[in-house]
A and B are shown apart, each in its own frame.
Chain A
Amino acid sequence: MTEVKMKSLRDAYGQALADLGAENENIVVLDADLSGSTRTSIFAARFPERFFNMGVAEQDMVSTAAGLAAAGKIPFASTFAVFASGRAWDQVRQSVCMGKMNVKIVASHGGITVGEDGPTHQALEDIALMRVMPNITVIVPADAHETAAAVRRAAQLSGPFYIRTARDKFPVLLREDVEFTPGKAARLREGTDVAIIACGIMVSKALEAAEVLSNEGVSAAVVNMSSIKPIDVEMIVSMARETGAIVTAEEHSIIGGLGSAVAEEVSETEPVPVIRVGMRAAVGSSGAPEELLNLFGMNTEAVVEAARKAIGMKKEPAATQAKTVMTG
């Protein structure tokens, strides 16, 4: 295998944002005393007059962003994912989403790969919290290139966005010129026995899992479902039809995130087994990112295991079933 390049999603965000700032005077940026961590500091250094540090005040930051949007600006507001989605939930709901304000929330430090900072700082609920909002587009990019593409697209499209980046570096999976369209998933690998639908860091784990499965003679498709909302229903349905078994994989609670979103669509359209890989424990722990992914079952082995289980749950075709009954 060729050596995997690692690249930071937040770096990609910071750079894309600064580039956008040079192209469009209407881009303004807000941060809540984490500009170094979220990488809005790159924009801040280049366009100080269009950068607003709001201090440690996420609720104020989000509503202020709504005001900037009401007056025609395109505000990007950043902080850690726990604070953006949790601390300012009501502000995102009322100030931003209900009025369809053109506010882009780009939250860094999503998921368990926050690592050493521990449970209080690991956002494992943010996708659920944001996905339920009205009028919002929720994106969990798979790598640095997709992050840049999503940020650019968000700036072009009107309305609220939530984009989740990460503290850790992720493997580069996609081409530098990858395009991002809300509601469009991408097939990264074809397969017939099971479909692994993943987002964020788990897309790279899904690809590894597909490789492992292929060595066992199992053909697994891999889908990058970076657009959590709107979700690509068509892709989900065709995966269910083509493979008859689905695994979802995300760096998030199994409650309310990508797995839930996929299961919701599958159960209403093309019911097949859906096994969710994600956070099953109540809370995380301090530790190194890779160590935590292993400890809490968000790794390649967990995806492989889930694929085997999903395939095992497939209903036998009706004809075979009837025969079994007769002979039995």
Chain B
Amino acid sequence: MMNDIDKLKEISRNLRKDILRMLHAAGSGHTGGSLSAIDMLTALYFSRMRHSPTPGASGPRDRFILSKGHGAPALYAVLAQSGYFDKKHLMTLRKVKSILSGHPYSPSTPGVEVCTGSLGQGLSISNGIAMALKLNKSDERVFCMMGDGETQEGQVWEAAMTAAHYKLDNVTAFLDNNGLQIDGVVKDVMGIEPIGDKWRAFGWEVYEIDGHDFGQILDAVDKAGRTKGKPSLIWAHTVKGKGVSFMENKVAFHGKAPSREELDLAMAELDAA
């Protein structure tokens, strides 16, 4: 039998293929940031989050908010794999009347909690959910995924203050620190360092990991779950375009879908991996 980590690796390898196929079919969309985040989403949805695709299912329900909404293909891949909707919808991404909008749009997609895409709002939303869960004396948790460029938005820091002020230890935020944004390298566009010191200064516990190492991801999620009295940031070093050699660390693949040839090459690489 496969152990948890090998199982997750296999799932994420297949989800990477789903992401590339849906983006190719759509002809546009955000490839790089979907591939940098997919391992963390895989770990959450297939190992740590308590959730069910059945509406109104009993039992605890942890929440996930994709603050970096342009990573929607990664979210759609895990939701389809989890059974929130049929996988056949993935090939309708970004098309008229599809249930899968270019960015998360909750009214049309099962499993999507809120609308995101305009960056910087997801952590505030996560805090709001966490406050409600605390009022309900629930042990359910909220996970949020932010991009590193996204943290240039002022609202992120308002939310960072709020989570610490209200001691929202049921909030765990991931920072997908792939080092790139649209116009180039984060450090050149608008530096966000020192990352750990900033978040710690804002009152957060910070766990620094390799965002593609399932052992480290799971361990950090568990540690965050045991952290009391303050929110946790999982500062994940990642590679934009991870898993496809010619997409890795390429700014050009931020908002570009793979062509037919690129898709074939990528599939061959992922099959061989």
Taking a contact as CB atoms under 8 Å apart, the answer to whether A63 and B132 are in contact is no
Q: How long is the Cα–Cα vector from A16 to B155 in the complex, in angstroms?
A: 31
Question: Is A73's beta carbon under 8 Å from chain B?
Answer: yes
| Stretch in contact with the other chain, from A50-58, A115-123, A266-274 | A50-58
CB distance from A1 to the nearest CB of B (A): 49
Residues of B within 8 A of A57 (CB): 155, 158, 161-162
User: Of all chain A residues, which has the CB nearest B106?
Assistant: A99
Residues of B within 8 A of A90 (CB): 118, 121
Question: Is B126's beta carbon under 8 Å from chain A?
Answer: yes
The one of B124, B136, B165 in contact with A95, judged by C-beta atoms closer than 8 angstroms, is B124
CB distance from A25 to the nearest CB of B (A): 9
CB distance from A125 to the nearest CB of B (A): 20
Q: How long is the Cα–Cα vector from A94 to B115 in the complex, in angstroms?
A: 6
Question: Is B26's beta carbon under 8 Å from chain A?
Answer: no
Q: How long is the Cα–Cα vector from A73 to B131 in the complex, in angstroms?
A: 10
Question: Is A226's beta carbon under 8 Å from chain B?
Answer: no
Cβ proximity bits B114-138 to A, threshold 8 Å, 1 near / 0 not = 1111101110111111111101100
Taking a contact as CB atoms under 8 Å apart, the answer to whether A60 and B124 are in contact is yes
Q: How long is the Cα–Cα vector from A77 to B171 in the complex, in angstroms?
A: 22
Taking a contact as CB atoms under 8 Å apart, the answer to whether A95 and B125 are in contact is yes
Instruction: Give the interface size bracket for B toward A.
Output: 20 to 34
Taking a contact as CB atoms under 8 Å apart, the answer to whether B121 and A69 are in contact is no
Taking a contact as CB atoms under 8 Å apart, the answer to whether B117 and A63 are in contact is no
Taking a contact as CB atoms under 8 Å apart, the answer to whether B115 and A68 are in contact is no
CB distance from A86 to the nearest CB of B (A): 15
CB distance from A129 to the nearest CB of B (A): 16
Residues of A within 8 A of B136 (CB): 71
Question: Is B23's beta carbon under 8 Å from chain A?
Answer: no
Taking a contact as CB atoms under 8 Å apart, the answer to whether A67 and B115 are in contact is no
Taking a contact as CB atoms under 8 Å apart, the answer to whether B128 and A69 are in contact is yes
Interface residues of B in 87-127 (CB under 8 A from A): 105-107, 113-118, 120-122, 124-127
CB distance from B142 to the nearest CB of A (A): 8
User: Of all chain A residues, which has the CB nearest B162?
Assistant: A60
Question: Is A283's beta carbon under 8 Å from chain B?
Answer: no
User: Of all chain B residues, which has the CB nearest A103?
Assistant: B128
Residues of A within 8 A of B246 (CB): none
Interface residues of B in 5-32 (CB under 8 A from A): none
Question: Is A137's beta carbon under 8 Å from chain B?
Answer: no
CB distance from B246 to the nearest CB of A (A): 34
Residues of B within 8 A of A114 (CB): none
Residues of B within 8 A of A100 (CB): 107
Q: How long is the Cα–Cα vector from A95 to B161 in the complex, in angstroms?
A: 19
Taking a contact as CB atoms under 8 Å apart, the answer to whether B107 and A99 are in contact is yes
Instruction: Give the interface size bracket for A toward B.
Output: 20 to 34
Question: Is B159's beta carbon under 8 Å from chain A?
Answer: yes
Taking a contact as CB atoms under 8 Å apart, the answer to whether B116 and A67 are in contact is no
CB distance from A29 to the nearest CB of B (A): 12
CB distance from B138 to the nearest CB of A (A): 9
Question: Is B53's beta carbon under 8 Å from chain A?
Answer: no
The one of B115, B126, B130, B158 in contact with A59, judged by C-beta atoms closer than 8 angstroms, is B158
Known: A49-B135, A57-B158, A60-B159. A71 touches B128 (CB 8 A): yes
The one of B106, B125, B135, B158 in contact with A67, judged by C-beta atoms closer than 8 angstroms, is B125
CB distance from B157 to the nearest CB of A (A): 9
Question: Is B154's beta carbon under 8 Å from chain A?
Answer: yes
Question: Is A72's beta carbon under 8 Å from chain B?
Answer: yes
Residues of B within 8 A of A67 (CB): 114, 124-132
Taking a contact as CB atoms under 8 Å apart, the answer to whether B135 and A50 are in contact is yes
Cβ proximity bits B55-67 to A, threshold 8 Å, 1 near / 0 not = 0000000010000
Interface residues of A in 73-113 (CB under 8 A from B): 73, 75, 90-91, 93-95, 98-101
Known: A63-B124, A67-B130, A95-B114. A73 touches B135 (CB 8 A): yes
Question: Is A64's beta carbon under 8 Å from chain B?
Answer: yes
Interface residues of A in 187-241 (CB under 8 A from B): none
Q: How long is the Cα–Cα vector from A58 to B217 in the complex, in angstroms?
A: 33
User: Of all chain A residues, which has the CB nearest B140?
Assistant: A71
Residues of B within 8 A of A93 (CB): 118
User: Of all chain B residues, which has the CB nearest A59?
Assistant: B155
CB distance from B73 to the nearest CB of A (A): 19
CB distance from B124 to the nearest CB of A (A): 3
Residues of B within 8 A of A52 (CB): 131, 166
Residues of B within 8 A of A70 (CB): 63, 113-114, 125, 128-129, 132
Q: How long is the Cα–Cα vector from A59 to B106 in the complex, in angstroms?
A: 20
Can you name 10 A-B residue pairings with CB atoms under 8 Å? A50-B135, A52-B131, A55-B162, A55-B165, A57-B158, A59-B124, A60-B127, A63-B159, A98-B115, A100-B107
Please list the 4 inter-chain residue pairs (A to B) with the smallest Cβ-Cβ separation, ordered nearest first. Answer: A67-B128, A63-B124, A71-B132, A60-B158
- Chain B residues with CB under 8 Å of chain A are 63, 105-107, 113-118, 120-122, 124-133, 135-136, 154-155, 158-159, 161-162, 165-166
Additional A-B contacts beyond A66-B128, A67-B129, A91-B124 (14; CB < 8 A)? A49-B135, A55-B158, A57-B155, A59-B120, A59-B121, A63-B124, A67-B131, A68-B131, A71-B132, A72-B132, A73-B132, A75-B128, A94-B117, A99-B115
